[in-house]
Amino acid sequence: PLVLGIETSCDETGVGLVRGQTLLADAVASSVEEHARFGGVVPEVASRAHLEAMVPTLERACETAGVRLHDVDAIAVTNGPGLAGALLVGVAAAKALALGLGKPLYGVNHLASHVAVDQLEHGALPEPCIAMLVSGGHSSLLRVSDVTGANDGVVPLGATIDDAAGEAFDKVARVLGLPFPGGPHIDRAAREGTITIDFPRGLTSRRDLERHRFDFSFSGLKTAVARWVEARQATGEPVPVVDVAASFQEAVCDVLVRKALDAAASEGIEDLLIGGGVAANSRLRAMAEERATGLGIRVRVPRPGLCTDNGAMVAALGSEMVRRGRIPSSLDLPADSSLSVTDVLAG
């Protein structure tokens, strides 16, 4: 079946078209530039940008795929979690399409779709697998036996107890005077730098591991970086931005990879899938690959363009919903800004 996916949970307006597990089009319009001067996403600005970008992005996706809207067999849309007003724009557009075309509507969980998207690049998802979701708003380790959420198919093993990994990248970038969103800038700066500072690895002490084996904490790390930079500035010495970036990035990636591989070992699972915006990080990808090989664990990470928010990921999970015979959503489907990662099957 040909599935159209719509994503508007944050600042990317995404429309994807997928046939089975084949990606036909992935059109994305971003309002990130409009938010940059505020140092974070401004919800009202994002909603307005979605309204303006929705129709042109839909048209661009259809044009790229060489299909007409009438060819579409099902409409999938992110109905949470995310910014309430932003989600509403996508959900309203999807309902209008479903109603107008007489095709089924599928509400899709944004977090699960960060996992499902990998099938567009590497084929059928390995289930069960350990999925590490690392994005701007979330950092979780999941045991995924059914990405559509059926039969408790998504089980959380751990999550961040404070900041998300992407949030840490963005905050540290700010401390270093790098633009928003900071993740890609830190990634780039770190490549020019050397790991010279031993920043703290949150929740890895023996005592913390007893209660938080698969949980993350990045707020102490963020503070440690800020203190280090302030101390430097106080003495009037220049801040070695590239070295701080490399050292910070190493600390984040070290903890993420360590805990993900530990989760795989503890669950007896040989496939690790990494998704979400931070999965675009070059050091994280290399380190996961490097450390997993010796342990006999296979690592799958979608290409960077599919890690950050897009419509193809929504179409990918929608396509699995159709293929696995899940019941479509009703046309009253609500946008749920705080939808939980375990809540994948929409009513």
Residue ranges for the binding site for substrate?
133-137, 170, 183, 187, 281
Contact between 90 and ligand ATP per CB under 6 A:
no
Q: Does 50 bind ligand ATP (CB under 6 A)?
A: no
> With binding defined as CB under 6 A, does residue 222 bind ligand ATP?
no
Residues ≥6 apart with Cβ < 8 Å to 135: 111, 114, 164, 165, 166, 275, 276, 277, 278
Can you give the C-alpha Rg of the chain in angstroms? 20
Q: What does the alpha-carbon distance between residue 114 and residue 131 come to, in Å, rounded to a whole number?
A: 10
Site membership for ligand ATP, residue 181 (CB under 6 A): yes
Interaction residues for ligand ATP, span 241-300 (CB under 6 A):
276-278, 280-281
Do residues 114 and 313 touch, judged by C-beta distance below 8 A?
A: yes
Note whether 137 binds ligand ATP by CB under 6 A: yes
Please report how close the Cβ of residue 32 comes to Mg ion at its closest, in angstroms. Answer: 6
Question: Three-class SS of residue 29?
Answer: strand
Q: Which spans of this chain sit near Fe ion (rule: CB under 5 A)? A: 135, 309
β pairing state of 12-19 and 2-7: antiparallel
Q: Which residues fall within 8 angstroms of residue 206, CB to CB, at 6 or more apart? A: none
Closest CB to ligand ATP: residue number: 277
- For the four alpha carbons of 162, 212, 140 and 295, in that order, the dihedral sign comes to positive
Closer by beta carbon to ligand ATP, 81 or else 126: 81
Residues binding ligand ATP: number (CB under 6 A): 24
> CB under 5 to 8 A by kind: which of Fe ion, Mg ion, ligand ATP, none does 107 bind?
none
Please say which residue, 28 or 65, places its beta carbon nearer to Mg ion: 28
- In the block, residue with structure tokens 């401004």: 42
* Smaller CB separation from ligand ATP, 110 or 212: 110
CA 184 to mean position of chain CA atoms: 14
**Is the peptide bond prior to 238 cis by the omega test (within 30 degrees of 0)?**
no
Q: Which stretch binds ligand ATP (CB under 6 A): 91-99, 149-157, 163-171, 210-218?
A: 163-171
**CB 137 → ligand ATP: shortest distance, Å?**
3
Of 160, 308, 319, 329, the one binding ligand ATP by CB under 6 A: 308
Residues of this chain, 10-69, that bind Mg ion according to CB under 5 A: 10-11
Q: Record the tokens describing residue 229, joined without a space.
A: 């930079």
Whether omega for the bond prior to residue 302 falls within 30 degrees of 0, making it cis, is no
Q: Which residues of 51-68 are buried (b: 16+ CB within 10 A; e: fewer)?
A: bebbeebbebbbeebebe
Of 61, 47, 64, 53, whose CA–CA distance to 4 is shortest? 61
Angle at the Cα of 276 (from 274 to 278), degrees rounded to 5? 90
CB of 19 to ligand ATP, least distance (A): 24
DSSP run (H or E) holding 210: helix 206-212
Nearer to ligand ATP, 26 or 170 (CB): 170
169 binds, among Mg ion, ligand ATP, Fe ion, none (CB under 5 to 8 A by kind): ligand ATP
**At closest approach, how far in Å is the CB of 9 from Fe ion?**
6
Among 2, 6, 10, 130, binds ligand ATP (CB under 6 A): 10
List contacts with ligand ATP (CB under 6 A). Answer: 9-10, 82, 110, 114, 135-138, 166, 169-170, 181-184, 187, 276-278, 280-281, 308-309
